[in-house]
Amino acid sequence: MRQWKTIKKTTILDFNKFLRVEQHTIELPDGKVLTDWPWIISPDYALVLPVTDKKTILLFHQTKYAIDGTSLAPVGGYLESGENALTAAKRELREEMGCKALEWIPLGSYPVNGNHGGGKGHLFLALDAYKVGKPIIDDLEEMELVELTVEEVEQKLFQGEVKVQGWVAIVAMGLLYLKGMQRSAF
C-alpha cells in the first residue's frame, strides 16, 4: 500500500506551543490531489496507569473543560521539549501523585488522529507504584486521588466513568495486561 504524500504545508493558526493548525496539499495513492487538508499539531503526551504492590490502581476523579461532570483519569501530561516519553511518564507520576514505580511497561505510542495529526499518546503501565512525597500539582483542574481494585476499575470503565478517548485506551490496555498477568500469577 502506498502512503499519502505531502506536497505543501501552510500554517493557518499558530496559537501557542499547544496548538498549531496547517493546511496541507496532499497526493492520495491514486494520484488525486487535495489542496485543503487540515493538519493539527499538538505536543505528544504520556499517560500512566499506576498499580500498587497491593494490586490496586491509582486514578484521579478529575474535571476537564470538555467533559460533562467528572471523569476517572490516569496520570498524564505533555512531553517537554527534548524529553523522551518514559522520562515524561516518570516525571508526571512523581509530580501528579507524588509516586515512583519499580517497573515500567510500555503499552505503545499512538497517533491521536490517523488522518489529521494531533500528536501521539505514549501509554505506560507503572507497576509497584509507591509514595515518595507530596504531589507537585500545577494543573488547572481539580483532582482527587482514588485507589481502586482491578474489578472496580473495569466496572467503572464499562459504566462510562472514563470519559476521554486516550484515558479509555490506557485503562483498557492496562486492564488487559493485568488480567494476562493474573493468569500467570499477578
CATH number of 45-183: 3.90.79.10
Confidence tier at 182 by pLDDT (50, 70, 90): low
Mean pLDDT value of segment 178-183? 79
Which of the 8 DSSP states describes residue 3? P
Query: Where do the structural domains in the chain lie, given as residue ranges?
Result: 5-41, 45-183
Confidence tier at 136 by pLDDT (50, 70, 90): confident
- Can you tell me whether residue 151 is helix, strand or coil? helix
Mean pLDDT value of segment 136-155? 87
CA-closest candidate to residue 16, choices 85, 78, 92? 78
Asked whether the beta carbons of 29 and 9 are under 8 A apart, the reply is no
Q: For 53-98, list the strands marked E by DSSP.
A: 56-62, 71-73, 75-78
Confidence tier at 2 by pLDDT (50, 70, 90): confident
CA-closest candidate to residue 163, choices 62, 44, 30, 32? 62
Give the span between the Cα atoms of 103 and 87, in whole angstroms. Answer: 13
The pLDDT tens digits of the residues spanning 109-121 come to 999 999 999 999 9
Cell numbers representing residue 112 in the block: 491521536
What predicted TM-score, i.e. pTM, was given to this entire model? 0.90
* pLDDT of 43 strictly over 90: yes
Confidence tier at 186 by pLDDT (50, 70, 90): very low
